[in-house]
Amino acid sequence: MDKRTSSHDRVIAQRQAEGWMFLIEAARDLRTTGAVVPSGKALARALTEPVRAQSPYPLAVLEAGAGTGPVTRALIPQLSRGSRLDVVEANPRFALRLKKIVAAHPSLMGPSGRVTVHQSLIEEFDTPHLYDVIVSGLPLTNFAPEHVERIMNCYMRLLHPGGTLTYFAYLGTRRARSMTASRAESRRHAAVDEAMAAFQRTYAVKRCTVWANLPPAHVWHLQRPLARADALSTPRPEEARR
Ligand SMILES: C[S@@+](CC[C@H](N)C(=O)[O-])C[C@H]1O[C@@H](n2cnc3c(N)ncnc32)[C@H](O)[C@@H]1O
């Protein structure tokens, strides 16, 4: 009983330390950190659904923008034997923390999947692998539209045909921003939404809403088409609407 209480206390203390770390990184650079608190369990569960759905097959999984690791922690126990997980995180302090989480994770002591943390921008991540599932935690709505298109094209290229990309978008950010931001900033956000909408119209297979997160978020599932390699060009808004 005492042992259980002390390990529970350790987990709470660890989560609090990660909450503070996330807040400090957000204060340093809110644009790339993208939030002031890490994702909650419900959001992590929704983002990792395609991995559960394909269990017990061995999968190649890529997580981009892992932060303090709430989604990584949800992914690791779901990896079946023979799976691999590559975690790509740009912030060197988060990457170091993620390496420690992976090194200490009890599920990795046995013959389970292989997990590697890479400190890199996802758009510069050089890998010979293709992935069955990509989970993105990147704050895409904070970036320039061309940057978002570059990252989305990079994800689609890194997926096996038939593979799934999941990512989230907080609810109401555009309206909140339109009340506080400059015109140029509102225009940038609208252009990003339009770029994302074009990818969604072309590749989306599912969207769900996670209310039990702060803030609530939509989770999108996009799928790389099974055939036609030429289907991978950047969808143009006017083409995608036809
Ligand atoms: C909104 S946080 C999400 C963190 C975590 N997945 C979660 O859900 O709590 C975004 C993360 O993406 C990382 N990031 C931002 N731009 C990136 C890029 N181009 N490549 C890789 N990671 C990036 C940030 O450092 C941050 O850790």
pLDDT of 8 higher than 90: no
- What's this model's pTM, rounded to 2 decimal places? 0.91
Nearest atom of ligand 1 to the alpha carbon of 32:
15
How many helices (H) and strands (E) the chain has is answered by 10, 7
pLDDT of 116 higher than 50: yes
Pocket lining: 202 vs ligand 1, CB cutoff 6 Å: no
Pocket lining: 90 vs ligand 1, CB cutoff 6 Å: yes
- How many Å apart are CA 137 and CA 163, to the nearest integer? 17
Q: Do the Cβ atoms of 89 and 95 come closer than 8 Å?
A: yes
Q: Do the Cβ atoms of 73 and 58 come closer than 8 Å?
A: no
pLDDT of 19 higher than 70: yes
Instruction: Give the pLDDT score at 172.
Output: 82
pLDDT of 239 higher than 60: no
Instruction: Give the pLDDT score at 166.
Output: 98
Which CATH architecture does the domain made up of 2-241 adopt? 3-Layer(aba) Sandwich (3.40)
Q: What is the percentage of the chain residues whose pLDDT exceeds 90?
A: 75
Q: Do the Cβ atoms of 138 and 63 come closer than 8 Å?
A: no
Q: How far is CA 217 from CA 24, 43, 158, in A?
A: 22, 8, 25
In the chain, where are the structural domains located? 2-241
Q: Do the Cβ atoms of 20 and 37 come closer than 8 Å?
A: no
Q: Whose CA is nearest to atom 11 of ligand 1?
A: 65
Tokens representing 68?
A: 């303090």
Instruction: Give the pLDDT score at 109.
Output: 63
Please state the length of the chain.
242
- How many Å apart are CA 218 and CA 45, to the nearest integer? 13
First to last CA, the chain: 62
- How would DSSP label each residue in 99-126? HHHHHH-GGGSSS--EEEEEES-GGG--
Pocket lining: 139 vs ligand 1, CB cutoff 6 Å: yes
Pocket lining: 72 vs ligand 1, CB cutoff 6 Å: no
Q: What is the pLDDT of residues 168-200, one digit of tens each?
A: 999 987 667 777 778 999 999 999 999 999 999
Q: Whose CA is nearest to atom 19 of ligand 1?
A: 121
pLDDT of 3 higher than 80: no
pLDDT of 127 higher than 90: yes
Pocket lining: 69 vs ligand 1, CB cutoff 6 Å: no
Pocket lining: 67 vs ligand 1, CB cutoff 6 Å: yes
